[in-house]
Structure 1
Amino acid sequence: MAKLDGMIWKIKSFDALTTQELYAILRLRAEVFVVEQNCAYQDLDNSDQKALHLMGTDEEGRLLAYTRIFEPGIKFAEASIGRVVTSPLARGTGAGRALMEQSVAELQQHFGVIPIRIGAQQYLQRFYTSLGFEQTSDTYMEDGIPHIEMLRP
């Protein structure tokens, strides 16, 4: 566990997650991706078991930020980061940028300094570009939301 900007970071494989951690992850993903974004979709996609799970919590243990990290060949030919989500409690605090910076650092620590591909919601293009990602696809619809693929070489 490392502290960064008041956030406590943990990364675990699926099998290492506690039931409480898994519940908090699924609850946050449902809160934001299903309820807040009004998008009925199958979040449980049988990929959680293949991912590393990065969790950012506050000192009270509340999950404020989360991503899934994949080695190359699972989601894309390249390594990837997905299910990027920050709690409404953490919005506007820089938690999203800290989450992505920590995700890139963890991915590089586990798999080396290699290209990273993401499927990003199109409205976040500027944010991801500021983190070194470049758009590599036309806009496509995923679960009713415009997305683009982006690559960090």
Structure 2
Amino acid sequence: MSSFVVREAALADLPPAVLYALLRLRVDVFVVEQECAYPELDGRDLEPDCVHVWAESGGVPVAALRVLRDPDGRGRIGRVATAPASRGAGVAGTLVRRALELLDGDEVVLDAQAHLVDWYARFGFVAQGEEFLEDRIPHRTMVRPADVVGSSTGG
């Protein structure tokens, strides 16, 4: 894969074509590839503190995630999606590290697909609770405690 550039923006600051490309990537991965008919547009992108973080290669988004605040004040990383051709190149890891920087030492939660639990553990996340199904895919809630030393250096 060619090199990539990491970008971030609030929804109001995203050019329409970039927003479209980010949403298209998420739909291509979560709805089409994973065959999950669900409401991808869940309203959380509209929250005032939502930050979209993505990687571009050749001006095209190849991976994306969003950074949110849950009602309990914890940070949340969600909608982590990587285009198939860019998987295994470290792009998603770079985005997760950036998301952790944006959340600045706060406790962070995410709902990981079960096969990615070990991958997220490299960033200091610990599985909590029982496995659950979300759109027929096994998931685990994972929490990264506040101020975990070295957690943002995972690969």
Same fold flag (TM > 0.5) = yes
Give the gaps of 5 or more residues in structure 1: none
Match of 1:104 among 91, 95, 100: 100
Partner of 1:93: 89
Partner of 2:79: 83
Residue 77 (structure 1) shift: 4.4
Asked if 1:44 corresponds to 2:41, the answer is: yes
Match of 2:119 among 127, 130, 151: 127
Partner of 1:55: 54
Deviating 4+ runs (over 6 angstroms): none
Residue 7 (structure 1) shift: 2.2
Match of 1:140 among 116, 119, 132: 132
Deviates more, 1:45-54 or 1:97-106: 97-106
Deviates more, 1:88-97 or 1:128-137: 88-97
Go from structure 1 to structure 2 and tell me whether the alpha carbon gap of 1:105 and 1:43 turns closer, same or farther (over 3 Å shift).
Answer: same
Match of 1:71 among 47, 69, 72: 69
Question: TM (normalized to structure 2)?
Answer: 0.86
Output the amino acid matched with 1:91.
R
Partner SS state of residue 137, structure 1: strand
Residue 106 (structure 1) shift: 2.3
Partner SS state of residue 85, structure 1: strand
Output the amino acid matched with 1:124.
L
1:42-91 Cα shifts (integer Å, max 9, x gaps): 10001111111001111x21101101101242xx6411000001111211
Aligned residue pair count:
142
Question: TM (normalized to structure 1)?
Answer: 0.87
Q: Percent identity?
A: 35
1:8-31 Cα shifts (integer Å, max 9, x gaps): 111111111111111101110111
Output the amino acid matched with 1:64.
V
Residue 34 (structure 1) shift: 0.7
